Copies of this chain bind each other. A is one copy, B any other.
Amino acid sequence: MDDQTSVSAFGNNRNHGVDGSLVVDIYPLNSYSFGSKEPLPFRDETLYDRIQRMKINYDIRGLRTCVEAVILVELFKHPHLLLLQIRNSIFKLPGGRIRPGESDVDGLKRKLSRKLSVNEDETDWKVEECLGMWWRHDFETLLYPYLPPSAKMPKECTKLYLVKLPASRKFNVPKNMKLLAVPLCQVHENQKTYGPVISGVPLLLSKFSFNIITN
């Protein structure tokens, strides 16, 4: 989008391009530096155990809400999505479950600091708009981007938020995870590798134009 120029902003840091589309500034991957920190504990449980734990938690707390971050960098003139890889297999957007009473934004900042920051108390993350939501209407079922008519009491909701990076920063990643920058064109519709949530991110971002800021 070399010919993209961004014009004046309104509210909530939204820039609009000449064609009225929303413009997001992205910076090259080499604007950022990467270190490691102590590993985060994982739950080592079977699918059956996981479902039992979710059922017990649902009875206590109701709907489980997860928040996940869509964070972009530039590489080879194409937007790349930051993903965490766990145990050399599962890919995840950075994020996690929010606590009862916690706001989405506060919960996401806490999770991002835990998984990506040098300092866990950092709150300096720019959490922008909600891009989309995925619902699990029963413990055993798949995620859907809508609530089926029969689903009176959904069990889990995953909300994706756009998180804008500054022009530079340091990431510190737990030693048992890898942070990867994956091109949008590789993620798109690649459900087999990335699952439905991540593989749908390029479509959720499609209303934006990207303004690549090179140093």
Chain A 114-155 against B: per-residue CB contact (8 Å), 1 yes, 0 no? 000000000000000111111000000000111111001000
Per-residue 0/1 for A69-85: is the Cβ within 8 Å of any B Cβ (1 yes, 0 no)?
00000001111000000
Query: Min CB distance, A76 to chain B, in Å?
Result: 6
Complex formed: what's the CA distance from A204 to B133 in Å? 10
Verify B207–A133 contact, CB threshold 8 A: yes
Contact A188 B145 (CB under 8 A): yes
Chain B: which residue is nearest A145 at the CB level? B206
Determine which of B77, B129, B206 lies in contact with A149 in the assembled complex, contact meaning CB atoms within 8 Å. B77
In the complex, which of the residues A1, A129, A132 has the most CB atoms of chain B within 10 Å of its own CB atom? A132
Residue of B79, B133, B188 touching A21 (CB-CB under 8 A):
B133
- Which of these, B2, B188, B200, contacts A144 with CB under 8 Å? B188
Q: Closest residue of chain B to A131, judged by CB? A: B207
Q: Is the interface of A mostly helix, strand, loop or mixed?
A: loop
User: Is A68 close to B, CB under 8 A?
Assistant: no
List 15 A–B pairs whose Cβ atoms lie within 8 Å, in order of A's numbering: A20-B104, A76-B149, A77-B149, A78-B148, A78-B149, A130-B207, A132-B207, A144-B185, A144-B188, A146-B185, A146-B202, A146-B206, A148-B185, A149-B185, A203-B204
Given contacts A145-B203, A203-B203, 15 further A-B contacts (CB under 8 A): A20-B104, A78-B148, A79-B146, A130-B207, A131-B207, A132-B204, A132-B206, A133-B207, A145-B205, A146-B185, A146-B188, A146-B206, A149-B183, A200-B203, A203-B204
Q: Which residues of A contact B (CB under 8 A)?
A: 1-2, 11, 19-21, 76-79, 104, 129-134, 144-149, 152, 183-185, 188, 200, 202-207
